[in-house]
Amino acid sequence: DAGVTQSPTHLIKTRGQQVTLRCSPKSGHDTVSWYQQALGQGPQFIFQYYEEEERQRGNFPDRFSGHQFPNYSSELNVNALLLGDSALYLCASSLGWGLTEAFFGQGTRLTVV
């Protein structure tokens, strides 16, 4: 049973560029959430997708956008990258409505130079 998979695992981008991160949820899960984890900090909620729509958004600027596909996989896009966007980006999948146990992927380490 495949868990949550994210790609790529590491990425280096230049300030001002755009980046797309990808996530495949755990088999049977239909909800995908994205989190940003700065070094030494806990994960911070970016947004959640359910039924191909953004269901809830955290305190992140519009430069952060996402998408969910019919197969439940998801993308996180970040435009106009800033140095402060350097972080571990985590995808979590869960099932259905409400809060249930969420399983995380290994993350994508984004470095903006």
Partner 1 sequence: GESVGLHLPTLSVQEGDNSIINCAYSNSASDYFIWYKQESGKGPQFIIDIRSNMDKRQGQRVTVLLNKTVKHLSLQIAATQPGDSAVYFCAEGSPNDYKLSFGAGTTVTVRA
Question: 70 is written with which tokens?
Answer: 């019919």
Cβ nearer to partner 1, comparing 62 with 101: 101
> Do residues 14 and 80 lie in contact, with contact meaning Cβ atoms separated by under 8 Å?
no
Cβ nearer to partner 1, comparing 9 with 18: 9
Q: Provide the binding-site residues for partner 1, judged by CB under 8 A.
A: 4, 6, 31, 33, 40-45, 48, 50, 55-56, 58, 90, 92, 98-99, 101-107
Collapse the DSSP code of 72 into the 3-class scheme (helix H, G, I; strand E, B; otherwise coil) and give the result.
Answer: coil
> Do residues 76 and 93 lie in contact, with contact meaning Cβ atoms separated by under 8 Å?
no
Cβ nearer to partner 1, comparing 16 with 102: 102
104: burial class by Cβ within 10 Å (0-12, 13-18, 19+)? middle
Place of tokens 């755990």: 26
Cβ nearer to partner 1, comparing 61 with 80: 61
* Minimum distance, C-beta of residue 16 to partner 1, in the bound complex (Å): 28
* Minimum distance, C-beta of residue 74 to partner 1, in the bound complex (Å): 14
* Minimum distance, C-beta of residue 34 to partner 1, in the bound complex (Å): 10
CA 77 to chain centre: 9
